[in-house]
Structure 1
Amino acid sequence: MKVKEKIKVGITIGDLNGIGGEIILKTFEDSRMLDFCTPVIYASVKTMSHLKKHFGFNVNFNGINTIDKVVHGKLNVFNAWNEKVNIEFGKESPKAGELAIKSLKLAVQHLKEGAIDTLVTAPINKHNIQSNEFQFPGHTDYLAQELEGNSLMFMVTDALKVGLLTDHVPVKEVTNHITAKRIQEKLHIIHKSLQQDFKVRKPKIAVLGINPHIGDNGVIGKEDDEVLRPTLEALREKGMLVFGPYAADSFFGSNNYKNFDAIVASYHDQGLIPFKTLSFGNGVNYTAGLNKVRTSPDHGTAYEIAGKGEADENSFKQAVFTAIKIFKNREEHQALTENPLKTNQKKI
């Protein structure tokens, strides 16, 4: 019988002047990681060898120029470029941004083609990636264009999952983006993701209010009463277990979040501040709602410690494990959906 190949995890290098290369190599310096997946790093053997020497890592690379040359049981490096790169740790540079996007585009192309199974992205600098060819605030918006589905930023650990109604939107524009349609779309994405990606049969979802104190009956804003409450009520009438809105300031401090499978925040900092406070270093940024699986660590380029060997790789390692887990859960969910009698047949 043919042994099933390990899941191929595509890994983008991110900003070379940040900590991306370090956390990738720290993760795969542990050869046991190769028992769980087959990694493909999108950079170049020259670049990765330079990083290996700089940090003194004990790793070996299998350099490839075509994706069909991937070898299972090896740390594969796809040569996305052949030029010698001058890495300047801790500095923002247009060249680092250019190479980060080159890495990303190649990896996404292979992901769309099915040549790799999942994608894990190292941190980028949202400023130096901007060009005439790439005008997106970050990974999530680009992936939303390239892959099928409707994307949602979903910050996850085993114990805490926080989704966002709006992500990289200026605070002054948040309420303009929160419409009944958007609320319904995002909650349906989270509901489906909890079922197919995290194996939660009947998800319980909490929704945080838009304004302080949920608007205080209109004194501090009417959006909660006029948009959020009626939309949640309509979803409840359709059978979805959504609760709230809850006042955001006390929700996490009171441990109320532990009663739900996921929490939905209205805007970026409302959700990510408590998430990172409770889970920093263990959290994973997952792009839910798309037809492919993409994860990333819960931190940025960390220029202030780049090149010093001080970066903690745990969040990146968790991003790899989460991508693998979600990919497997989706396969199982699809199999059960196509053949709902499968579980019963096994018991006979």
Structure 2
Amino acid sequence: MNSKHHKIKVGISVGDFNGIGVEIILKALNDKNITDFFTPIIFGSGKLFSYQKNVFKIQTNFNYIQHPKEASNGKLNIVNLWKDNVNVDFGTPTEESTKMAIDSLEAATEALMNEDIDVLVTAPINKDEMMKQGFKHAGHTGYFEEKFNKKGLMFLVTEGLKVAVSTHHIPVSEITKNISKEKIKEQVKILNQCLIEDFCIQKPKIAVLGLNPHAGDGGAIGNEEIEIIEPAIKELFNEGILAFGPYPADSFFQADKYCSFDGVLAMYHDQGLAPFKTIAYEEGVNYTAGLPYIRTSPDHGTAYDIAGKNLADAQSFSEAIFTAIKIYRNRAEYQELTKNPLKSKVLANDNGIDEDLPEENE
């Protein structure tokens, strides 16, 4: 990690170009002052972006490069992975658009691991089509877990609501056999550390949702809460982590309840994402927590139904970019402070606080 004055290099994978991925990238970067804040490095095709910027009537100039190391500050850089013409068929995933999505993701991930970029923001992919082309994972999370050899956690975040999910892209029929006390404990620990390191929350309060309706209703509607979730929460609390629950999911996402917590662990995908996307709407960001590298994405998919119609809103993609930058800086500061614990006292004194002074009434 570098100093807080470092111009952060934001790598961007293009996703499926027959969806809204390129459109939201163009719109998010369509500000002449955007490169004052970071250096964008897109992994894609110059011809593709030239074509789509004309479709959406966006006047943007790109710096075409062959390797991310060649990126220039103050410019919108494109690593030109594909030099041939690209056939765009809005609204329909094709073999060509799927292969570019895979190539873009793999090139951007390699650059991230080689520290040629500082963070990665991924545009939406078509999971089913990518798996047909040999991609082994039903989503980004599993892919990054394999590449980085570390367990991650799908974590949807805004300023006021942060929701992780215990099980990701699996059938509902397989949820029960994919939760365990040990897994929940591991995930809450990841979530707790992420809130501390990446979001600067000193003592996070974490809510854990139940699996069954009414959180099992004392065993009348399932025993997973009694046998798995409650013991996990009790052990976590005894280890010093402020975990609470299990809470019934049907009533938890009322403002007076979820706002009392810094993070939430839902048991399965839709249990957490349905309320999150309803509350957060266009502001939500998908963040893969617990990994050694920072990756974010918008909280929506390829949106083939509006692709090519100039209707896509880039707000979530912009939020994903600036969330990644914020997490990078937070994590760098945390690592600096924990590397030199005396630094925290110096920072306190710089703020006019002398930690050695007694209280006035002592």
The AA in structure 2 aligned to 1:121 is T
The AA in structure 1 aligned to 2:31 is D
Task: Report the CA distance between 1:260 and its aligned residue.
Answer: 0.3
| TM-score, scaled to structure 1 | 0.97
Measure the CA separation in 2 of the matches of 1:221 and 1:248.
14
The AA in structure 2 aligned to 1:61 is F
8 Å contact 2:111–2:117 — kept in the other structure? yes
Q: State the Cα deviation string for residues 140-189 of structure 1 (Å, max 9, x = none).
A: 11011111431100000000000111111111110101101110110000
Measure the CA separation in 2 of the matches of 1:195 and 1:86.
45
The AA in structure 1 aligned to 2:108 is A
Query: How does 1:141-220 map onto structure 2 within 5 Å?
Result: 141-220=142-221
8 Å contact 2:4–2:329 — kept in the other structure? no
Task: Report the CA distance between 1:255 and its aligned residue.
Answer: 2.9
* Equivalenced residues, count: 347
Measure the CA separation in 2 of the matches of 1:40 and 1:104.
13
Query: How does 1:240-319 map onto structure 2 within 5 Å?
Result: 240-253=241-254, 255-319=256-320
Q: Which residue is equivalent to 2:232?
A: 231
Determine helix, strand or coil for the equivalent of 2:296.
strand
Query: How does 1:302-341 map onto structure 2 within 5 Å?
Result: 302-341=303-342
| TM-score, scaled to structure 2 | 0.94
8 Å contact 1:153–1:167 — kept in the other structure? yes
Q: Which residue is equivalent to 1:21?
A: 22
The AA in structure 2 aligned to 1:318 is E
8 Å contact 2:296–2:320 — kept in the other structure? yes
Determine helix, strand or coil for the equivalent of 1:167.
coil
Determine helix, strand or coil for the equivalent of 2:33.
helix
Task: Report the CA distance between 1:132 and its aligned residue.
Answer: 5.8
Tell me, which stretches of 5 or more residues in structure 1 are unaligned?
none
Task: Report the CA distance between 1:254 and its aligned residue.
Answer: 5.6
Determine helix, strand or coil for the equivalent of 1:163.
strand
Instruction: Work out whether 1:103 is the aligned partner of 2:104.
Output: yes
Measure the CA separation in 1 of the matches of 2:174 and 2:201.
33
Deviates most, 127-136 or 137-146: 127-136
Task: Report the CA distance between 1:280 and its aligned residue.
Answer: 1.2
Task: Report the CA distance between 1:203 and its aligned residue.
Answer: 0.2
Task: Report the CA distance between 1:128 and its aligned residue.
Answer: 1.1
Measure the CA separation in 1 of the matches of 2:92 and 2:4.
45
Measure the CA separation in 2 of the matches of 1:101 and 1:165.
26
Q: Which residue is equivalent to 1:40?
A: 41
8 Å contact 1:5–1:72 — kept in the other structure? no
8 Å contact 1:207–1:263 — kept in the other structure? yes
Q: State the Cα deviation string for residues 176-235 of structure 1 (Å, max 9, x = none).
A: 011011101100000000000000000000011010011112121111101110111011
Measure the CA separation in 2 of the matches of 1:165 and 1:179.
10
Measure the CA separation in 2 of the matches of 1:126 and 1:33.
30
The AA in structure 2 aligned to 1:315 is S
Query: How does 1:49-198 map onto structure 2 within 5 Å?
Result: 49-131=50-132, 133-198=134-199
The AA in structure 2 aligned to 1:128 is E
Deviates most, 130-139 or 107-116: 130-139
Measure the CA separation in 1 of the matches of 2:188 and 2:4.
39
Measure the CA separation in 2 of the matches of 1:215 and 1:3.
47
Measure the CA separation in 2 of the matches of 1:99 and 1:247.
42
Q: State the Cα deviation string for residues 270-301 of structure 1 (Å, max 9, x = none).
A: 00000000001000000001000000001000
Task: Report the CA distance between 1:247 and its aligned residue.
Answer: 0.6
Determine helix, strand or coil for the equivalent of 2:74.
coil
Determine helix, strand or coil for the equivalent of 1:130.
helix
The AA in structure 2 aligned to 1:78 is V
Measure the CA separation in 2 of the matches of 1:132 and 1:307.
24
Task: Report the CA distance between 1:343 and its aligned residue.
Answer: 2.5
Aligned-residue identity in percent: 50
Task: Report the CA distance between 1:5 and its aligned residue.
Answer: 4.1
Deviates most, 131-140 or 217-226: 131-140
Measure the CA separation in 1 of the matches of 2:69 and 2:254.
50
